[in-house]
Chains A and B, each alone.
Chain A
Amino acid sequence: MSGWRKYTGLIVTLLIVLLLTFWPLITGKDITRETIFTILLSVALASSLNILLGYTGYVSFGHVVFFGLGGYVGFYLLSVQGWSLWIAMLAGGAASAILAFLLGKAILRLRGGYFALATIGVNEAMRAFINNFEPFGGPVGMTLNFQVYRDYGGPAQALWLSFYMLAALTIIVVIISYSVRMSKFGLGLLAIREDEDAAEVMGVIAPNVKTWAYVLSAIIPGILGVIFFFKNGNIEPAPAFRLHFSIEMIVMVMLGGQGTVLGPVLGGMGYQSLRGYLLTSPLFKNIQLAVAGALLLIIVLFVPAGVVGWLRQRFPALRRVLQ
Chain B
Amino acid sequence: MDFLLASVIDGLLLGFVYGIAAMGLTLIWGVMNVINLAHGPIIALGMFSLYFIFSLLGLNPYLALILVAVLGLLLGILIYFVAVHRVIDAPHLSTLLATFSVNMIIIGLGTAAFTASPRNVEFSLGSFTVGSITLLGTRLVAAVLALAVTGGLYLFLYRTRPGRYIRAVANNRDAAELMGVPSAQILALSFGLGTMLAAISGGLIATFFPFTILAGGVYELKSFVIGVLGGLGNPVGALFGGLILGVLEGIIPTFMPTTWVPVLEFGLFVLILLVRPQGLFGARK
Apart from A112-B33, A290-B109, A301-B87, 17 more pairs, CB < 8 Å: A53-B93, A59-B93, A61-B96, A106-B274, A113-B33, A113-B92, A114-B273, A117-B35, A117-B228, A124-B266, A128-B266, A289-B111, A290-B112, A297-B101, A297-B102, A297-B105, A300-B101
Partner of A294, one of B101, B111, B267: B101
- Contact in complex: A124, B92 (CB < 8 Å): no
A301 to B269, CA, bound (A): 31
Q: Which of B101, B111, B228, B267 has the most CB of A within 10 A?
A: B101
For A290, list chain B residues within 8 Å (CB). 104-109, 112
- Contact in complex: A117, B224 (CB < 8 Å): yes
Interface locus among B154-162, B163-171, B189-197, B255-263: B255-263
28 contacts between A and B (CB under 8 A): A59-B92, A107-B274, A109-B274, A110-B274, A110-B277, A112-B33, A112-B92, A117-B35, A120-B221, A121-B273, A125-B263, A125-B266, A125-B267, A128-B265, A139-B259, A250-B97, A254-B93, A286-B111, A286-B112, A287-B112, A289-B105, A290-B109, A291-B108, A293-B102, A296-B97, A300-B101, A304-B87, A304-B94
**Nearest Cβ on chain B to A278's Cβ, whole angstroms:** 10
**Nearest Cβ on chain B to A194's Cβ, whole angstroms:** 11
* Chain A positions 93 through 107: 1 when the CB is less than 8 Å from some CB of chain B, otherwise 0: 000000000000011
Question: What class of interface size applies to chain A in its complex with B?
Answer: 35 or more
* Chain A positions 238 through 256: 1 when the CB is less than 8 Å from some CB of chain B, otherwise 0: 0000000001001100100
- B14 contacts chain A at the CB level, 8 A cutoff: no
- Contact in complex: A59, B96 (CB < 8 Å): yes
- Contact in complex: B92, A116 (CB < 8 Å): yes
**Residue of A whose beta carbon sits closest to that of B269:** A121
List B residues at the A interface (Cβ < 8 Å): 29, 33, 35, 82-83, 86-87, 90-94, 96-98, 100-109, 111-112, 221, 224-225, 228, 232, 257, 259-260, 262-263, 265-267, 269-270, 273-274, 277
- Contact in complex: A121, B97 (CB < 8 Å): no
A144 to B262, CA, bound (A): 28
- A132 contacts chain B at the CB level, 8 A cutoff: yes
**Residue of A whose beta carbon sits closest to that of B104:** A293
A113 to B28, CA, bound (A): 13
For B112, list chain A residues within 8 Å (CB). 286-287, 290
Partner of A289, one of B87, B107, B224: B107
A258 to B262, CA, bound (A): 33
Given A128-B259, A132-B260, A251-B97, the answer on whether A114 and B105 have CB atoms closer than 8 Å is no
**Nearest Cβ on chain A to B128's Cβ, whole angstroms:** 34
* Chain A positions 283 through 307: 1 when the CB is less than 8 Å from some CB of chain B, otherwise 0: 0001111111110110011001000
Leading 3 A-B pairs by shortest Cβ distance = A290-B108, A293-B104, A289-B108
For B87, list chain A residues within 8 Å (CB). 300-301, 304
- Contact in complex: A287, B104 (CB < 8 Å): no
A224 to B213, CA, bound (A): 32
**Nearest Cβ on chain B to A288's Cβ, whole angstroms:** 7
* Chain A positions 101 through 145: 1 when the CB is less than 8 Å from some CB of chain B, otherwise 0: 000001101101110111011101100110110000001000000
For B225, list chain A residues within 8 Å (CB). 121
Partner of B100, one of A106, A117, A125, A247: A247
Given A57-B91, A114-B277, A139-B259, the answer on whether A124 and B108 have CB atoms closer than 8 Å is no
A113 to B100, CA, bound (A): 14
Given A106-B274, A107-B274, A287-B109, the answer on whether A296 and B259 have CB atoms closer than 8 Å is no
Partner of B90, one of A288, A291, A296, A304: A304
A288 to B265, CA, bound (A): 33
